[in-house]
């Protein structure tokens, strides 16, 4: 209630002068002149306004019918005459064909002899798989066991044998290489004579070392 009374005042009836906000100056980049100059230099004619002006085709040169179709070369008249000369002429009414020419060959007996002496054709085996009579050749159907009758049936192919030999040879070479490497890196094995001589040398050196220690100890005392 006190807030509402505070807002009501007689001074509010007096006209007030509208205070216009101060408008700050617009920001202008310091690089504006250089950018504008660079754009003016790089501007090309007709870069954004379409193609340059070209000559407009005349309305008289409009597209005509069949003008785009390929044209055949013009045939000469002499070529047509030569072609007509090669065609035999039509026989005349008075021309008669050769009559009375007969062959002494007996075609009936010849055909009968060829049939009798010829080898009879073997019927191709077929397979019928439905009751309606659908049939197909039996040889190409895959039902004939013709692969088991081959000479190399059940034998290992040559390329498999060759491949196995190559793998075996590679494994043998690798094993030999590993053995040679281990032999080179292994310690030398001494014989019995060398071992005995080496032990004698070590014992002799130990005795000499002990004697030397006793002498050194006696001199210090």
Question: In a structure prediction context, what are the per-residue pLDDT tens digits for the chain, which is 221 residues long?
Answer: 445 555 788 888 888 888 888 888 999 999 999 999 888 887 766 666 666 677 878 888 888 898 888 888 877 766 666 666 677 778 888 888 888 788 888 999 999 999 899 888 888 888 888 888 888 888 888 888 888 888 888 888 999 999 999 999 999 999 999 999 888 887 777 788 888 888 888 888 888 888 778 777 766 65
Establish how many alpha carbons lie within 13 A of residue 130's alpha carbon, considering only the half-sphere containing its beta carbon.
5
pLDDT given at position 46: 62
What pLDDT is stored for residue 182 in this prediction? 87
- What is the per-residue pLDDT for 1? 47
| CA dihedral angle for residue 143, residue 146, residue 147, residue 151, rounded to 10 degrees | 170
d(CA 187, CA 198): 16
Q: How far apart are CA 168 and CA 162, in angstroms?
A: 10
CA contacts within 13 A on the Cβ side of 116: 6
Task: Give the C-alpha separation, 139 to 145, whole Å.
Answer: 9
Burial tier of 152 (Cβ tally within 10 Å: 0-12, 13-18, 19+): exposed
Helix and strand numbers, DSSP H then E, in the chain: 6, 2
CA dist 158 and 165 (Å) reads 11
Alpha helices in 48-157 (DSSP H): 77-86, 107-117
Half-sphere exposure of 129 (CA within 13 A, CB side): 6
List the end-to-end C-alpha distance of the chain, in Å, as a whole number.
121
């Amino acid at each position: 209630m006190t807030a509402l009374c505070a807002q009501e005042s007689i001074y509010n009836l007096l006209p007030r002068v509208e205070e216009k906000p101060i408008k700050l100056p617009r920001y202008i980049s310091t690089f504006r002149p250089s950018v504008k100059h660079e754009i003016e230099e790089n501007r090309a004619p007709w870069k954004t306004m379409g193609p340059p002006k070209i000559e407009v085709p005349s309305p008289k040169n409009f597209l005509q019918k069949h003008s785009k179709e390929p044209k055949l070369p013009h045939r000469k008249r002499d070529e047509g005459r030569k072609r007509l000369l090669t065609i035999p002429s039509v026989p005349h009414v008075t021309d008669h064909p050769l009559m009375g020419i007969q062959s002494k060959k007996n075609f009936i007996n010849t055909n009968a002899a060829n049939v009798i002496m010829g080898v009879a054709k073997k019927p191709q085996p077929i397979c019928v798989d439905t009751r309606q009579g659908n049939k197909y050749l039996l040889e190409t159907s895959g039902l004939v066991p013709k692969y088991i009758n081959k000479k190399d049936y059940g034998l290992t192919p040559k390329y498999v044998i060759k491949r196995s030999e190559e793998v075996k040879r590679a494994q043998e070479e690798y094993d030999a290489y590993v053995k040679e490497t281990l032999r080179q890196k292994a310690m030398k094995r001494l014989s019995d004579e060398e071992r005995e001589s080496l032990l004698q040398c070590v014992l002799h050196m130990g005795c000499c070392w002990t004697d030397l220690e006793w002498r050194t100890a006696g001199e210090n005392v």
